[in-house]
Amino acid sequence: MTSHRLERLNAWIFRLLLLTLLALLALVSLYFYQGGWDRLRTSRTMARLFPGEVFQGPQVMIISGHRGFDSGAVCKDGLMEAVVNANIAEAVAKRLQKQGVAVSLLDEYDPRLEGLHARALLSIHADSCIDESGFKVASAKETVIPEEDAALVSCLRTQYAKATGLPFRSTAITRDMTEYHAFQRIADDTPAAIIETGYLGGDRALLQDHPDVAAAGIAAGILCFLDEQDARAKASSSPPTGESP
């Protein structure tokens, strides 16, 4: 009986060592596949598998529109845009964190915006209390990374429309969006966008009562953009066909 138990213990230890070795080999393979420690440390996959401080995932910054500054638009019954923005922004952060993304929520004029380097920055706002419907997404009018900014806007536009069913109001994009103050403060290489999630009048049922739906669309848009970023990075680091690394 003792010999049988010892054999079972040895077999269990062997399997544990084997699994540990395979995990280490997978870790090393992923290290080289993703291009080094920095990429590994910010991998969404690693952040999900090993939650903690070592693997943080890609960094995304979310501005909760008007937070720490003013109330934003205020409807006749007292509904404040800043509250709506905060509910959606917090729900977005939770969704992204579950997907291995390191998210920080910022105030409207947060000091951390100065020279900010991140994989993406998004400012979340809502439109006025008028009886209209639709959403808007825009990036900076002047940018040194137009392709990156356009990719972020495209992902947000597609995924938000899919999740909410709201129409995209391209003709209603204003200078307040394309010349948004945060665009002028962050590092030039940080992709950034601002989204007006809908009207507090016509889209109130969605924005106030179902912020999780709006958050799902925004989170999906950001994940879409991060996936496209990773795909471009891998493509650019791969040797041309027919050439050895």
CA distance 29 to 11: 27
Q: What is the reported pLDDT for 243?
A: 45
Measured in degrees and rounded to the nearest 5, phi and psi for residue 211 equal: -60, -25
Q: Which residue has the higher pLDDT, 176 or 30?
A: 176
Check if the beta carbon of residue 129 is closer than 8 Å to that of residue 79.
yes
Map residue 25 onto helix, strand or coil.
helix
* 194 pLDDT above the threshold of 50: yes
Q: Is the pLDDT of residue 242 over 50?
A: no
**Four-point Cα dihedral 217, 59, 97, 20, nearest 10:** 130
pTM for the whole structure: 0.79
Report strand pairing: 136-138 vs 192-199.
antiparallel
Q: What is the pLDDT of residues 117-163, one digit of tens each?
A: 999 999 999 999 999 999 999 999 999 999 999 999 999 999 999 99
Answer whether residue 239 shows pLDDT above 60.
no
| Distance between CA atoms of residues 228 and 208, nearest Å | 31
For residue 14, the cross-strand partners are none
